Amino acid sequence: MFRPSLALAALLILPLAAGPAEAAPREAKKLWETSGFKNPESALFDRAAGVVYVSNMNGEAMVKDGNGFLSKVTPDGKVSVAEWVTGLDAPKGLARVGDKLYVADIDRLVEIDIAAGTVLNRFEAKDAKFLNDVAADPAGHVYVSDMLTNTIWRLADGKFEVWLKDDKLENPNGLIVEGDTLVVAAWGVMTDGFATKVPGHLKKVSLADKSIAPHGKGDPIGNLDGLEPLGDGIYLASDWMNGKVHRIGRKGKARELLDLGPGTADLGFDPATGTAYIPQMKTGVLHGYKFE
């Protein structure tokens, strides 16, 4: 939120940008892959701690079974703690705020003490159906997408409440905050289950007035899941259904970088090294790729 090709070339070179407004070409080089995860949905690189957190649903995405857990992985792909925080249901998106880690877990936002590796709070989201990704603004407010109800929740001053509910979000998934804007990776309007007639694109929501606008021209891209900034209005985004990882330019045009198979989920990114940490939910693999 099926199987990666073993024949995938280790080096993929992007085509030249369409114009001077776009960033220089990038290369995607495979560094490693680590197996053994249990339906990994999200990866978050934590520079302060020097680790990558990985959420393991370990079961169905909407079932409260208590089987979910978080893993800690070194930046070079070695599992340091396989089951670091346990007792979750179907953990998905992750965000760090200060010494706390926040995890979306179906209809609750779970607050974790990073130093102790223990759950501090569970904030209930009444009537939420599919809490998915998590992002934080500079003030420490935490935003969470509810993909199935076109809702963005916000935790502020200890209160977890609906911040925005609008069908124009078109099933929001990935989230990041850039300045005064919440950038949303939309899955696209669902027609039958998780299928869409028109795949999603990036949207930008003003934190000031909650207005919603497309990123660039709003051309369809895919059933978008993970979202990370590359800087200068350019993004990395994963397409869960088709297994693609895209580079999305300032005008909203997408270019395929990788094809890891359906189930390519919420990727993390280290801008200092250009390394992406990409969970493959169906195969239980975490991929490490370097973008140059």
Q: Is residue 24 part of a domain?
A: no
Tokens representing 76? 């070079």
| pLDDT category of residue 10 using cuts at 50, 70 and 90 | very low
For the chain, what's the residue count? Answer: 292
Answer yes or no: is 218 within a domain.
Answer: yes
Q: Flag whether 28 is in a domain.
A: no
> Is pLDDT of 37 > 90?
yes
pLDDT at 27: 77
Task: Tally the domains of the chain.
Answer: 1
Average pLDDT over residues 171-189: 97
Closest CA to 77 of 283, 274, 278: 278
Q: Look at residue 26 in the predicted model and tell me its pLDDT.
A: 65
Q: What is the pLDDT of residue 16?
A: 33
**Tokens 């994963």, residue?**
238
pLDDT at position 286, please? 98
User: Do 236 and 227 meet the contact criterion of CB atoms below 8 Å apart?
Assistant: yes
What is the model's pLDDT at position 3?
A: 34
| pLDDT tops 60 at residue 19 | no
Residue 172 lies in a domain: yes
Mean pLDDT in residue range 87-101: 98
Q: Tell how far CA 237 is from the center of its chain.
A: 8
- pLDDT(197) > 70: yes
Whether 21 is covered by a domain: the verdict is no
Report how far apart, in Å, the C-alpha atoms of 176 and of each of 24, 73, 183, 259, 266 are.
23, 22, 5, 23, 12
Report pLDDT digits (tens) over 247-270: 999 999 999 999 999 999 999 999
Confidence label for 115 from pLDDT (cuts 50, 70 and 90):
very high
Element (H, E) at 51: strand 51-56
Q: 17 falls in which pLDDT band (50, 70, 90)?
A: very low
Residue with tokens 């070339």: 9
Share of the chain above pLDDT 70, in %: 91
Q: Is residue 10 part of a domain?
A: no
Predicted local confidence at residue 292, as pLDDT: 78
Tell me the per-residue pLDDT of 202-246, one tens digit each, with 9 for 90 and over: 999 999 999 999 999 999 999 999 999 999 999 999 999 999 999
E strand spans, 98-233 = 100-105, 108-113, 118-124, 131-136, 142-146, 151-156, 159-165, 172-178, 181-186, 190-192, 195-196, 202-206, 212-214, 224-231
Reported as a pLDDT band with limits 50, 70 and 90, residue 28 is: confident
Structural domain span for residue 181: 37-291
pTM of the complete model? 0.91
With respect to residue 31, please indicate whether it lies within any of the assigned structural domains.
no
Which residues fall within 8 angstroms of residue 168, CB to CB, at 6 or more apart? Answer: 150, 203, 212
| Structure confidence at residue 60 (pLDDT) | 95
Q: 104: domain CATH number? A: 2.120.10.30
184 assigned to some structural domain: yes
Over the range 216-251, which residues count as b (16 or more CB within 10 Å of their CB) and which as e?
beeeebbbbbbbbebeebebbbbbbbbbbbbbbbbe
DSSP 8-state symbol, 90:
S
Comparing 15-19, 139-143, 229-233, which segment has the lowest mean pLDDT?
Answer: 15-19
